Amino acid sequence: MIDYGHCDAHRKPKGSPTKDIPRPHIGLVPYAPTEIRSCTVPGTVALTFDDGPSRYTGDLLDLLEKYEAPATFFVTGINNGKGSIDDDSLPWPSLIQRMILSGHQVASHTWSHEDLSKVTPKQRTAQLERNEAALRNIMGSFPTYMRPPYSSCHPRSGCREHLGEMGYHIVLYDIDTEDYKNDDPSLIQRSKDIFDDALSSGNPHTKSWLVIGHDAHEQTVHNLTEHMLQTMTRLGYRPVTLGDCLRDPRDNWYRKDSSWPGRTNSNKPKNKPKKGPSQQISVDGTCGANYTCFGSPFGLCCGSSHVCGNTTVHCGKGCLKDAGYCAIETPHNGDAWDPKSPSRKSEAGSDFQTVGTAALTSLLLALIVAMWM
């Protein structure tokens, strides 16, 4: 209850605030006060996951990679006692970078999961802007898509108009798996049945689905998600990101902070090649030859088209290793970290008290090579 004490919600991310960044409404997807409750591309299923990243998110990313399934993550900044998502002593920054590099979409679920219909306009602004700054500190940009906690943004509160002024699309869903009620091996079948019944009621030639789940729940990650992926494939649907299921170009999913100086040395991968003596940091997003993406606000990797960015197009096959990162150190398994025991080791013996050991680097490099062979 943020009005009655000092909570983690009162903490602020590092760096400059985002309040002065322009927020034009671009593209054809409606912005707030309209609420988006369904997809528009037939035959698609947009799996979305709220409340993470969590100790289970690494496992979920592994599973999605196995099925080559894009998804969307509605990220919270500091809820559930997990610490701030831009704290480099924790796994969260690298997990969020891994989401981007794997082709998933990152969206906002506010800073500390407050009910936006019950807080003041000032508090509502802080909930969005603090999450923006934290994500900017990781990605160099922040999302234009958000989902209100508890799906609560009531008209009487002024919430919807406020979010429109802040340049957001409000996203709800048309399949609620109710996984938060069923996070137990004996109950999760209820969520599977909800999903199966919904998909079976439609025709993939004419119907699409927007699904809500939560990567903070173990049964969602270790049980329900694989079932959903198998069911949608069997019934003729394909998994996509939220933006793709709405036909929204990826350039519209984020707002870039042109003043962002790039991630500091402490945040950068340790396998960074040396910058050539004549190279300068890219000032316009182009890279190669005399310009490097290292330290630029446009992205970490220099793609084959000589443009900086953070997607697999930039960081995967064709990545120019002399002008940007071609690998990111990321925790392979977020379940190996427990906020109550920061030095807990995974079964493989990797210590997650400090993210990005040599073993993790080697493992991720092997994954990237395998993925792009």
Hey, which residues are catalytic here?
A: 50, 214
β-pair partners for 115? none
Greatest C-alpha distance within the chain: 62
Residues in contact with 320: Cβ distance below 8 Å, sequence separation at least 6, in sequence order: 287, 288, 302, 303, 304, 306, 326
Q: Cβ distance 327 to 315 under 8 Å?
A: yes
- The owner of tokens 């330290």 is 295
Closest CA relative to residue 83, chosen from 56, 54, 108, 109: 54
Q: Cβ distance 159 to 200 under 8 Å?
A: no
Residue 138 amino acid letter: I
Residues in contact with 100: Cβ distance below 8 Å, sequence separation at least 6, in sequence order: 106, 139, 310, 311
* Packing angle, helices 225-234 and 189-200, rounded to 10: 20
* φ, ψ of residue 141 in degrees (nearest 5): -155, 175
